[in-house]
Amino acid sequence: MQAMFAHVLIRLGTRIREINAQGHPDIRAELGDRELLVQVKTVSHRSHWTMFDLRSEDLSGISAAGRRDGLLAVLDCAEPAQWVVVAAYRAATLVGQSVHLATLQAISRPELSSDCTEEFSYIIRTQQNRLQNLTYSVLRSRALSGTGL
């Protein structure tokens, strides 16, 4: 999902510098004069009791400083799927806890979350016949070359 989220960010005007399947941050991008450090997570939302465990490792590579903004981007896979994007400094208050997705939504950046969800939905709709061919490797290569979906 890291590489797919990179394409969401491209649609929002960023330039992708780095995508990592492992390690921190998952994505390093530029937006204007800011550097975005993003940790991407997914949650299989099976009920309203679904919990998200936030570990210190999840935030270790996305600390904001100077011209850097750290973001935690969580894909809630319930229907309809939606992105919940939280500033790293807000997410840091939840480290070591199991929290409801509603808690993440409450501290999220709602406009950015909505924009990410809209762009993700657009990608899924327009690429639905090609999704099985859009492997991590393909998505990563295209995002790093600046070729969006």
Between CA 56 and CA 95 the distance in angstroms is: 6
Is this structure's pTM higher than 0.75?
A: yes
- CB atoms inside a 10 Å sphere around CB 81: 14
Q: What are the structural domains of the chain?
A: 2-142 (3.40.1350.10)
Q: What is the pLDDT of residue 21?
A: 82
Residue 130 reports pLDDT greater than 80: yes
Q: Angle at CA 55, nearest 5°, toward 19 and 85?
A: 55
User: pLDDT for 9-60, tens place per residue?
Assistant: 999 999 999 999 887 899 999 999 999 999 999 998 666 677 888 888 888 8
pLDDT-derived band of residue 67, with 50, 70 and 90 as boundaries? confident
User: pLDDT for 99-113, tens place per residue?
Assistant: 888 899 999 999 999
DSSP-derived pairing of the beta strands 68-76 and 98-100:
unpaired
What are the phi and psi torsion angles at 66 (to 5°)?
60, -120
